[in-house]
């Protein structure tokens, strides 16, 4: 009997160690943006899908009214938390109506930080209408949407998006 107990305890410890190592690997992959497939299904020139949502402030946002920068963030994403200050600074310069932030997982800190400078949509980690419209399943993810409601540029860091000013006469692919 003592051998059986020792074997079960040893098996439990090994399973716990395996779980901790797996979580560590996944966190490292996510923070380095190592992703087995393409990060962005929608690329430049792609139209965004249809959606209609309300922001945390009760403002309606839809695919027909969306232009500017769209950022996807999630709770527990280290790279998202590193990007957040630069995104907020960039959003402050563009103006709140030109920035949409989709925050998954109930990250109240991110929602509070972004609400003064961006329209914020709280979403489930599994997606939501905006994530489905952009076919987005990865965070952080940034999109620049033109006046024609098509994707102009994509990236996972602010320096991957081209400089854009909402007062520019034409933004879009045509």
Q: Which pTM value belongs to this model?
A: 0.72
In a domain, 171, yes or no: no
Q: Is there a single domain that holds both residue 28 and residue 56?
A: no
Q: What is the pLDDT of residue 169?
A: 45
Q: What is the pLDDT of residue 30?
A: 63
Other CB atoms within 10 Å distance of the CB of residue 57: 9
Q: What is the pLDDT of residue 174?
A: 43
Q: Is there a single domain that holds both residue 69 and residue 98?
A: yes
Q: Is there a single domain that holds both residue 61 and residue 141?
A: yes
Q: Is there a single domain that holds both residue 21 and residue 95?
A: no
Q: Is there a single domain that holds both residue 59 and residue 135?
A: yes
Using only C-alpha atoms, what is the Rg of the chain? 20
Q: How far is CA 82 from the centre of its chain?
A: 12
In a domain, 38, yes or no: no
In a domain, 165, yes or no: no
In a domain, 2, yes or no: yes
- Coil, strand or helix: which one is 163? coil
Q: Is there a single domain that holds both residue 23 and residue 105?
A: no
pLDDT tens, position by position, 10-54: 889 888 888 888 887 877 766 554 444 456 677 899 999 999 999
Three-class HEC string of 38-103: CCCCCCCCCECCCCEEECCCCCEEECCCCCEEEEEEECCCHHHHHHHHHHHHHHHHHCHHHEEEEE
In a domain, 80, yes or no: yes
pLDDT tens, position by position, 60-108: 999 999 999 999 998 888 889 999 999 999 999 989 999 999 998 888 8
Q: Is there a single domain that holds both residue 18 and residue 93?
A: no
Q: Is there a single domain that holds both residue 21 and residue 87?
A: no
pLDDT tens, position by position, 122-170: 987 667 899 999 988 888 999 999 999 899 999 888 888 887 665 554 4
- Structural domains counted in the chain: 2
Q: Is there a single domain that holds both residue 58 and residue 12?
A: no
Q: How confident is the model at residue 57 (pLDDT cuts 50, 70, 90)?
A: very high
Question: Where is 119: in which H helix or E strand?
Answer: strand 119-123
Q: Is there a single domain that holds both residue 16 and residue 91?
A: no
**In which domain, by residue range, is 75 found?**
52-160
- Bigger pLDDT: 25 vs 109: 109
For residue 133, what is the domain's CATH number?
3.40.30.10
Report the C-alpha gap between 52 and 61 in whole angstroms.
6
Q: Is there a single domain that holds both residue 140 and residue 104?
A: yes
Q: Is there a single domain that holds both residue 135 and residue 80?
A: yes
């Amino acid at each position: 009997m003592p051998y059986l107990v020792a074997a079960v305890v040893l098996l439990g410890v090994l399973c716990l160690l395996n779980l901790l190592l797996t979580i560590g690997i996944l966190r490292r992959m996510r923070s380095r943006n190592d992703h087995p497939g393409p990060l962005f299904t929608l690329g430049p020139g792609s139209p965004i899908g249809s959606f209609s949502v309300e922001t945390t402030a009760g403002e309606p946002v839809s695919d027909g009214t969306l232009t500017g920068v769209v950022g996807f963030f999630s709770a527990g994403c280290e790279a998202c938390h590193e990007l957040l200050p630069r995104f907020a600074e960039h959003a402050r310069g563009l103006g709140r109506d030109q920035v949409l932030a989709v925050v998954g997982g109930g990250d109240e800190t991110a929602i509070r930080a972004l609400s003064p400078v961006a329209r914020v949509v709280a979403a489930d980690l599994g997606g939501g209408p905006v994530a489905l419209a952009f076919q987005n399943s990865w965070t952080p993810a940034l999109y620049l949407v033109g006046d024609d409601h098509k994707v102009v540029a994509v990236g996972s860091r602010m320096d991957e998006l081209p400089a854009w000013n909402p007062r520019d006469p034409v933004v879009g692919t045509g």
